[in-house]
């Protein structure tokens, strides 16, 4: 994921091969679980930042978990719904819940 400081806002953008690359001196966080805070130094990098703007995939996993953790840390968090997405969910009995 790429981190870019925009005054008091922080954009969290999923890093995909060939889609976007960090510029020189731009911090890069590699996460391995749903939350962007677990196993990374994101909280430390947010030292004097109090507002987050979160976008990316998957709304009901990574976005939700990161947003809840940011709120628990006292950060003012905004999700841009038009810049998030999820996938259809299928129940054990094969019932599909569209995204």
- CATH number of the domain at 11, please: 3.40.50.850
- Per the structure, the count of domains in the chain is 1
Give the pLDDT of residue 69: 95
Give the pLDDT of residue 76: 94
- The whole-angstrom separation of Cα 56 and Cα 38 is 17
Give the pLDDT of residue 1: 45
Q: Which 3 state secondary structure label does DSSP give 21?
A: coil
What does the pLDDT look like over 44-69, one tens digit per residue? 989 888 999 998 888 888 999 999 99
Most distant pair of Cα atoms in the chain: their distance: 49
- Domain, as residue range, for 33: 2-97
Q: For the chain, which residues score pLDDT lower than 50?
A: 1-11
């Amino acid at each position: 994921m790429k981190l870019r400081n925009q005054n008091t806002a922080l954009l969290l953008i999923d890093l995909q091969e060939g889609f976007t690359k960090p510029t020189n001196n731009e911090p890069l966080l590699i996460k391995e679980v749903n939350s962007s805070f677990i196993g990374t130094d994101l909280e430390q990098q947010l030292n004097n930042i109090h507002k987050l703007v979160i976008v990316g995939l998957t709304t009901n996993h990574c976005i939700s978990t990161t947003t809840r953790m940011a709120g628990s840390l006292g950060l003012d968090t905004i999700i841009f719904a038009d810049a998030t997405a999820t996938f259809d969910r299928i129940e054990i009995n094969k019932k599909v819940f569209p995204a």
